Copies of this chain bind each other. A is one copy, B any other.
Amino acid sequence: MALRAALRPKCAFLGLLQSSGSHGRVSTVLVSQMRNNTTAPKIKVDFNQSTGVAVLSMQSPPVNSLSLDFLTELCINLEKLEMDKACRGLIITSTQPKVFSAGLDIMEMYGKSPERCGEFWRAVQEMWLKIYGSNMVTIAAINGSSPAGGCLLGLTCDYRIMADNPRYTIGLNETLLGIVAPFWFKDTMVNTVGHRNTEMALELGLLYSPSEALKIGLVDKLVPQDQLLTTATETMTKWLAIPDHARQITKSMMRKPTIDKLTSNREADIQNFVSFITKDSIQKSLRMYLEMLKKRKA
């Protein structure tokens, strides 16, 4: 099974981009289902009015790949919560076994028109902008592996708690597939683990075990898997004890320069992604990777 392999550190090459389940003939079905709005929701939100805390669960089988549809649904939910004054805290987690999110959906980057690639990339930016600049307290309850875009999703939160299972890995491992984390992925990681750790991690596409991730500060706390949500909830209570207004201004002061860098370069960043990903050499890399995935499934 491809997923299982993807989650092993030594198979890091597989950990970057997961196609969302079975592609090819099936994907056409999926697309038409989405257009008819008949697919199961990829995001589930449980909002507790009494605590002001929402738990957002990613539930897109098999590995919560960040497809355009997934990201669109995620951003709609984030916007609703952000606008709800009663919602002060957000916990992001996954319902999928062994994986938090496997990152960007490779099928959004393979054989697609430049327009579609651009639309996809804008959605990735939007997710980052919405969470990194959120007024809510955001806690990632990372209950499985979290490579590439999955790691980015965790990094955008205010606090990261990870299930202490040595089989799980986390990291921005884009280079392993021959692609490159953009500057704002890099900036987010530098803000979290510093320049030197980021340089090593990005150049080598490092995937860290939970204990390694804790050591460099890529995650803030490890707990047994069955205590993950409880711990996230307790941590949230501490954060919500701080006056919202003062905390929000402080958060903005810390993150605004990084956010401004993307917002003022957003179109150029999209152009850059599109021209890179549609290159013949990159498309060839992605095709080879997909073929390898198919063989493993067979």
Contacts and interface: CB of A to CB of B under 8 A. Distances in A.
A255 B159 CA distance: 28
A24 interface: no
A250 B180 contact: yes
Contacts of A61: none
Given A158-B203, A204-B238, A238-B204, A195 B246 contact: no
Given A191-B195, A196-B191, A196-B193, A254 B202 contact: yes
A221 B27 CA distance: 47
A214 to B, nearest CB: 13
B254 A204 contact: no
Interface residues of A, number: 43
B203 A251 contact: yes
A246 B180 CA distance: 6
Contact of A254 (B198, B243, B246): B198
In this complex, the member of A176, A191, A246, A255 whose beta carbon has the largest number of chain B beta carbons within 10 angstroms is A246
A122 interface: no
A196 B203 contact: no
Secondary structure of the A side of the interface? helix
A238 B243 CA distance: 44
A190 B245 CA distance: 22
B254 A178 contact: no
Contact of A249 (B180, B195, B238, B243): B180
A183 B246 contact: no
A164 to B, nearest CB: 20
A175 B247 contact: yes
A183 B253 CA distance: 7
Contacts of A89: none
A242 interface: yes
A200 B191 CA distance: 12
A174 interface: yes
8 contacts: A181-B250, A186-B253, A191-B199, A194-B196, A198-B254, A199-B251, A205-B242, A245-B281
4 tightest Cβ-Cβ pairs between the two chains A and B:
A175-B246, A178-B243, A199-B254, A180-B249
Interface of A: 158-159, 174-181, 183, 186, 190-196, 198-200, 202-205, 217, 220, 238-239, 242-243, 245-247, 249-251, 253-255, 281, 285
